[in-house]
């Protein structure tokens, strides 16, 4: 049983891309959940299979945070081998190092809170630090 679930601009594996769906049939994430969404990801994930769908399936407590102006591929290596279609379809915000830093900060805070009971880390999730990447909370 998972003690925490974190998704970094997750895309459900079902649908036109094949793979196993996590969300089909009303799947729920019954653990504290962090969902980070890339603000430019609307062209990357099929309708109903992106970060918003994972946030809707989240239990409580849950955080759905948007990394504004950034794309799904901004989380990949600088020159990802075999990226193929995703690298041509998914837009980029062009700030990969800042995107990775913001993602690491938020993931670290979530894991400290949920796995190490570090209540001080909650403040980072409730009021994310702002830097080159603007992070906003998405209302449920």
For residue 5, whether the previous peptide bond is cis, meaning omega lies within 30 degrees of 0, is: no
Q: How far does CA 21 lie from the centroid of its chain?
A: 17
Q: Of all helices (H) and strands (E), which one includes residue 101? A: helix 96-116
- Predicted confidence (pLDDT) per residue in 65-88, tens digit: 999 998 887 877 676 666 666 677
Go through 109-138 and write b for each residue having 16 or more CB atoms within 10 A of its CB, e for each that does not: bbbbbbeeeeeebbebbeebeeeebebeee
Return all residues near 25 (Cβ < 8 A) that are at least 6 apart. Answer: none
- Predicted confidence (pLDDT) per residue in 7-56, tens digit: 998 888 755 556 677 777 666 788 899 999 988 866 677 777 788 888 98
């Amino acid at each position: 049983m998972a003690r925490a679930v974190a998704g970094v601009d997750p895309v459900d594996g079902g649908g036109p891309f094949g793979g196993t769906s996590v969300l089909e049939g009303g799947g729920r994430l019954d653990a504290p959940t962090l969902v980070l969404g890339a603000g430019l990801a609307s062209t990357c994930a099929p309708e109903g299979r992106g970060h918003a769908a994972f946030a809707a399936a989240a239990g409580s407590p849950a955080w759905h945070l948007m990394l504004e102006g950034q794309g799904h591929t901004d989380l990949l290596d600088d020159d990802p081998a075999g990226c193929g279609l995703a690298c041509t379809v998914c837009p980029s915000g062009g700030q990969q190092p800042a995107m990775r830093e913001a993602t690491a900060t938020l993931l670290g805070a979530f894991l400290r809170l949920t796995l190490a009971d570090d209540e001080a880390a909650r403040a980072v999730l409730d009021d994310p630090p702002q830097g080159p990447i603007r992070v906003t909370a998405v209302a449920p």
